[in-house]
């Protein structure tokens, strides 16, 4: 089965963000892994999905504790 790739524009549309955000993330080392072929940047779908899975967060606060009287 062939590996599916997304262009920077396709990934930006998928996440409803600016392609400039993806460019900044590449510069700062954030975001999903990418491949640079010549001047073209592409993202493997499996890397995009892995990055999405890493972003899943639960509740960010401590669990509710009953008050003692």
pLDDT bin (cut points 50, 70, 90) of residue 58 is confident
pLDDT tens column, 33-45: 999 999 999 999 9
**Which stretch of DSSP H or E encloses residue 31?**
none
In this prediction, residue 48 carries a pLDDT of 97
> What whole-number percentage of the chain has pLDDT above 90?
75
Secondary structure class of 1 (helix, strand, coil): coil
Residue 21 banded pLDDT, cuts 50, 70, 90 = very high
pTM of the full structure: 0.77
C-alpha torsion 21→36→32→25, nearest 10: -30
Instruction: Please check the confidence at residue 68 and state whether its pLDDT lies above 60.
Output: no
């Amino acid at each position: 089965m062939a590996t599916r790739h997304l262009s920077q524009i396709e990934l930006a549309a998928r996440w409803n963000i600016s392609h400039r955000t993806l460019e900044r993330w590449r510069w700062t080392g954030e975001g999903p892994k990418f491949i640079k072929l010549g001047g073209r940047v592409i993202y493997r779908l499996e890397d995009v999905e892995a990055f999405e899975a890493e972003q899943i967060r639960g509740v960010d606060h401590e669990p509710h504790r009953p008050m003692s009287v």
